[in-house]
Amino acid sequence: MMKKTLTASALLSALLLATAPVHAQTDAQSAPPAASQPAASIDDAQLEQFASALNHISEIQEQAMAELSQVEDQQQAQVIQQEANEKMVDAVNESGLSVEDYNLIANQLQTDPELQQRLEALR
- How confident is the model over 108-123, as a mean pLDDT? 93
34 lies in a domain? no
Residue type, 43: D
Q: How far apart are CA 47 and CA 44, in angstroms?
A: 5
Q: Which tens digit of pLDDT belongs to each residue from 48-105?
A: 999 999 999 999 999 999 999 999 999 999 999 999 999 999 999 999 999 999 999 9
Q: Are the C-beta atoms of 50 and 102 separated by less than 8 Å? A: yes
36 lies in a domain? no
The model carries a pTM of 0.68
33 lies in a domain? no
Burial class, 46, CB count within 10 angstroms (exposed 0-12 / middle 13-18 / buried 19+): middle
Q: Are the C-beta atoms of 109 and 116 separated by less than 8 Å? A: yes
**What is the number of structural domains in the chain?**
1
Q: How far apart are CA 112 and CA 103, in angstroms?
A: 14
102 lies in a domain? yes
